Structure 1
């Protein structure tokens, strides 16, 4: 054994001191791996949540919207028939969401209403006739609009916006006996009044 170089045996302290930096490096690397894994899991969870939100919004946007006819209060009336002097014409709704009771249009919301009225009036008297859009409230009644018809068979035409109140009743009447032909009467709520307390 003389030809071999003499190797001193390492003492335990020297080996421990060399092993400590290696163990510290190994523990640091493991902590880094755990941290990276947690970051990866967090990013994956965020992407899944984002994807779920986008799917929800996409499905919600594909839902059919509520038709405008269900949102707006309106009515359309067609009438052909006789009217008696000073008596309300017995109106009945052809279509719409505003109720008509006993020939009167029942207003259920305060607000601006678009009113359209067209038709022809025939009357036997040589005098003129007045067609009146009448409003009856809780205690009083008043004319909202009047048109004088001078010749039998003339057309009446109204397109206006009126502010009407809840519990008003709207009717039509003539100042003399007449025959009304192809009356088209429409009423639609444009903007409801919202009371702020």
Structure 2
């Protein structure tokens, strides 16, 4: 005897019910259209996009700090030292969020410096991998390391221009990814739902 509930669970992954396919397709279309719009906005208005990112980042930090402070008071199983640590960390994170909101463009410069430092460290690791021979071919490690270090230094020297370039590149990539999503949507089912 076959249980109707388990019969759908063991179906092949490609054999979605027509209603499920329609919902999935609708979600993909919505996400792709939103991605296209955001990508175009990022390319046309990079300064406003950066300001929005900085403001959202500041709000996120404030919310995260509040969460940690609340957790310090209400979380079960935390010792006194962990409660103090969580509360103080939350307070520091909240202050960082307030500072980000008070001067959003300055927080973007800090973000650019952090990205630059990460790229420099990544470049050093790639260069070491090329020298030691852990990256094959070796020249790839050297090229990757040099490019990463150069990009990191550029972010230190021109942080505002570097962040603007990242927004523009991100906008272009968002448009490309969204367009390919629209072009590769699952086909509509011919059967009635």
Which is richer in helix?
2
Answer yes or no: same fold by TM over 0.5. no
TM-score by length of 1: 0.21
Look at both structures and tell me which one has the larger radius of gyration over its CA atoms: 1
